[in-house]
């Protein structure tokens, strides 16, 4: 088989091979082919979340099946099905949004294939075939474990279907249909934009839309875990259900499971119509796009974003009069403005942070009482905003852009290293931390009075200390160092969960400081002293620091260097 695959088998097969490989490439990875191994290794990590829920789900449905009436069981099954359907839909939507640029042939494909005797129809046909193959494998892989495991865990005498196989088929059918709706719907959206927008506008709109979609899908994934029976009942109200696609496919599940409720049948019919419309529109827009897509890519790829150039050259000068700092901040700002990938990652962190904030404030009144709930909400917002800002900034700064051009920084590093690192500090604090504090300040002052100012001042000290801690080991100029896939995200995830573990403690301490003058003064003073000591030590260490431009794997064997 390997020998057969090494041989050439005609234009169609080779194009299919090319596009299948390209799905596992990323502009954020410096070595082609590394992304496939990372994705394969990530699958067991992603699926572990379901095994953590096995015992709670089993005990819950074992208890509900022993009740004398079927009502509580069927409300719980509806809520959990809505949770899983929303989770699977948003997971597929997230994967589709991340690979947004690969849904149609891109500029790199045309540059690689343009000189070959291939027609646009051949290129588009092979791209569509590869897309459908990848989508089918992804849909089955993502939905397999929940489709088999959840019907087994939720078995009960109150279930509409007594057969396990029938319940599995009902769940799998509804979940696959829901995931396919998001997948084909996003393809249709991309195709509509391709045929409606002019070339110079297309790239910018689709770039920002990609970031928004990633943020929305991540928010849905986080919020789906908050779906309870009361939320499901509210979502099933007719005036709301018509606007909520996950509820449509919940109705499809209920119909396949044997529920005779007319409302569920009406929702099921809407789900089938929506899926058929999304699939049809995706294929239609895909087929009519191939005639003008190459011209759009070639025309849109050469457009200049003069506004972003002017913005990147004016705004950094307001923050620093040092030419090297100004140049470094302009480089960072323009990279974020031009790179869809880096902007997408920042928006993804924002989406997750927003979803976590919404899930947390729901129970804030019960935890702290009505007299402190407003202050508790602001403290919680600032903690999450600071946490996601620092983790997101470090992550996105570590991803390269135009890596081969970093030679210009290497040959001038000795002259500008200190100013470059100061520019990173000023950029994060000015463009990230300052808006985070200033935007909600009027509302804080209006609702909390002087405590609003005190809360902002306290978090100014917390933010400065947290920044020094997060960037204490930073030894790169943003976007100039190569990146090893899987290395940085794993460390960030572990650190993220470690910080979430102490989140409640930090929240309670800071909230208590706002209502105790002595505790506020001592906490504020300790934070400033700690910040100054770490800040001074980090600045002194810059004199001996050498910036990193290539990230290499850790050696398999560490030498003892005894002969040095």
Q: What is the pLDDT of residues 245-255, one digit of tens each?
A: 999 999 999 99
- Confidence band for 317, pLDDT divided at 50, 70 and 90: low
Examine the fold and report which residue of 275, 301, 327 is the final residue of a domain before the chain moves on: 301
Q: Give the range of the structural domain holding residue 63, as residue numbers without chain letter.
A: 9-22+29-301
Res. 72: pLDDT tops 70: yes
Instruction: Point out the least confidently predicted range of 134-138, 306-310, 418-422, 453-457.
Output: 306-310
**Do 363 and 398 fall into the same domain?**
yes
Q: Is residue 557 part of a domain?
A: no
Q: Is residue 423 part of a domain?
A: yes
Greater confidence, 225 or 555?
A: 225
**Do 271 and 340 fall into the same domain?**
no
Sign of CA dihedral 215, 216, 217, 220: positive
**Do 146 and 193 fall into the same domain?**
yes
**Do 189 and 118 fall into the same domain?**
yes
Dist. CA 252–CA 169, nearest whole Å: 12
Res. 5: pLDDT tops 80: no
Total tally of structural domains belonging to the chain: 2
Mean pLDDT of 133-155: 90
Dist. CA 125–CA 287, nearest whole Å: 9
Q: Is residue 253 part of a domain?
A: yes
- Confidence band for 313, pLDDT divided at 50, 70 and 90: low
**Do 316 and 283 fall into the same domain?**
no
Label residue 398 exposed, middle or buried (CB < 10 Å: 0-12, 13-18, 19+). buried
Give the closest residue to 351 by CA, choosing from 517, 220, 489.
220
| Close Cβ partners of 358 (under 8 Å, ≥ 6 residues apart) | 223
Q: Is residue 554 part of a domain?
A: no
- Phi–psi pair at 485, nearest 5 degrees: -65, 135
Quick one: what percent of the chain has pLDDT higher than 70?
Answer: 81
The answer to whether the CB of 298 falls within 8 A of the CB of 110 is: yes
- Confidence band for 339, pLDDT divided at 50, 70 and 90: confident
- The residue ranges of DSSP E strands in 316-448, in sequence order, are none
Examine the fold and report which residue of 301, 318, 339 is the final residue of a domain before the chain moves on: 301
Mean pLDDT of 72-100: 92
**Do 231 and 329 fall into the same domain?**
no
* Per-residue tokens: 251: 């109705």
**Do 264 and 345 fall into the same domain?**
no
Instruction: Point out the least confidently predicted range of 42-56, 86-100, 191-205, 503-517.
Output: 42-56
The answer to whether the CB of 82 falls within 8 A of the CB of 235 is: yes
**Do 209 and 337 fall into the same domain?**
no
Give the closest residue to 231 by CA, choosing from 99, 446, 76.
76
**Do 297 and 319 fall into the same domain?**
no
> For 162, which DSSP code?
-
Q: Is residue 564 part of a domain?
A: no
Distances 399 to 107, 345, 478, 563 between C-alpha atoms, Å: 21, 10, 8, 36
- Confidence band for 497, pLDDT divided at 50, 70 and 90: low
Examine the fold and report which residue of 272, 301, 330 is the final residue of a domain before the chain moves on: 301
Q: Is residue 166 part of a domain?
A: yes
Helices within 242-261 (DSSP H only): 245-257
Mean pLDDT of 40-55: 66
Q: Is residue 319 part of a domain?
A: yes
Q: Is the pTM of this model over 0.75?
A: yes
Give the closest residue to 337 by CA, choosing from 354, 352, 316.
316
Q: Is residue 559 part of a domain?
A: no
In this predicted structure, what is the pLDDT of residue 445?
Answer: 92
**Do 226 and 125 fall into the same domain?**
yes
Dist. CA 324–CA 418, nearest whole Å: 9
Helix or strand run (H / E) with residue 518 = helix 517-541
**Do 213 and 316 fall into the same domain?**
no
Residue with tokens 């999304």: 278
Q: What is the pLDDT of residues 175-203, one digit of tens each?
A: 999 999 999 999 999 888 888 887 677 77
Mean pLDDT of 382-404: 87
Burial 116-139 (b: 16+ CB within 10 A, else e): eeeebebbbbbbbebbeebbeebb
**Do 538 and 439 fall into the same domain?**
yes
In this predicted structure, what is the pLDDT of residue 308?
Answer: 46
Res. 488: pLDDT tops 60: no
Dist. CA 13–CA 462, nearest whole Å: 57
């Amino acid at each position: 088989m390997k020998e057969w695959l090494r041989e050439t088998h005609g234009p169609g097969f080779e194009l299919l091979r090319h596009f299948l490989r390209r799905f596992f490439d990323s502009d954020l990875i410096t070595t082609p082919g590394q992304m496939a191994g990372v994705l394969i290794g990530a699958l067991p990590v992603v699926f572990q979340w379901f095994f953590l829920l096995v015992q709670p789900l089993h005990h819950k449905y074992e208890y509900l099946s022993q009740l004398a009436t079927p009502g509580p069981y069927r409300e719980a099954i509806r809520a959990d099905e809505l949770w899983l359907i929303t989770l699977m839909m948003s997971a597929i939507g997230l994967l589709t949004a991340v690979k947004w640029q690969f849904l149609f042939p891109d500029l790199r494909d045309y540059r690689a294939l343009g000189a070959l005797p291939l027609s646009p129809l051949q290129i588009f046909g092979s791209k569509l075939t590869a897309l459908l193959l990848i989508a089918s494998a992804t849909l089955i892989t993502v939905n397999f474990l929940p489709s088999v495991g959840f019907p087994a865990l939720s078995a009960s005498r109150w279930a509409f279907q007594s057969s396990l196989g029938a319940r599995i088929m009902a769940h799998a059918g509804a979940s696959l249909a829901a995931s396919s709706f998001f997948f084909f719907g996003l393809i249709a959206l991309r195709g509509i934009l391709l045929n409606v927008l002019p070339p110079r506008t297309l790239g910018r709109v689709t770039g920002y839309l990609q970031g928004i979609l990633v943020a929305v899908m991540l928010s849905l994934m986080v919020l789906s875990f908050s779906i309870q029976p009361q939320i499901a009942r509210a979502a099933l109200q007719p005036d709301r259900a018509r606007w909520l696609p996950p509820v449509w496919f919940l109705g499809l599940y209920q119909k396949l499971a044997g529920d005779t409720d007319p409302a569920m049948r009406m929702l099921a019919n809407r789900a089938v119509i929506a899926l058929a419309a999304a699939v049809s529109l995706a294929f239609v827009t895909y087929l009519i796009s191939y005639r003008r897509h190459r011209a759009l890519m070639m025309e849109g790829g050469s457009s200049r974003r003069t506004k972003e150039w002017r913005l990147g050259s004016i705004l950094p000068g307001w923050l620093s009069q040092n030419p090297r700092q100004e140049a470094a901040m302009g480089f960072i700002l323009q990279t974020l403005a031009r790179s869809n990938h880096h902007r997408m990652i920042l928006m993804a962190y924002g989406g997750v942070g927003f979803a976590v904030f919404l899930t947390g404030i729901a129970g804030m009144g019960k935890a702290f009482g009505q007299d402190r709930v407003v202050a508790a909400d602001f403290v919680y917002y600032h903690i999450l905003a600071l946490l996601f800002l620092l983790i997101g900034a470090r992550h996105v700064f570590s991803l390269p852009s135009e890596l081969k051009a970093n030679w210009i920084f290497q040959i001038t590093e000795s002259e500008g290293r200190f100013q470059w690192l100061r520019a990173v500090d000023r950029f994060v604090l000015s463009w990230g931390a300052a808006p985070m504090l200033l935007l909600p300040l009027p509302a804080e002052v209006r609702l909390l009075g002087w405590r609003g100012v005190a809360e902002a001042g306290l978090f100014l000290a917390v933010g400065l200390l947290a920044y020094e801690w997060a960037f204490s080991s930073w030894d790169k100029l943003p976007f100039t160092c190569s990146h090893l896939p899987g290395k940085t995200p794993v460390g960030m995830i572990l650190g993220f969960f470690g910080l979430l573990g102490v989140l409640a403690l930090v929240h309670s301490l800071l909230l208590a400081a706002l209502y105790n003058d002595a505790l506020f003064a001592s906490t504020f003073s300790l934070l400033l002293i700690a910040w100054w000591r770490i800040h001074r030590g980090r600045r002194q260490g810059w004199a001996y620091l050498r910036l990193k431009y290539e990230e290499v794997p850790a050696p398999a064997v560490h030498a003892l260097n005894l002969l040095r």
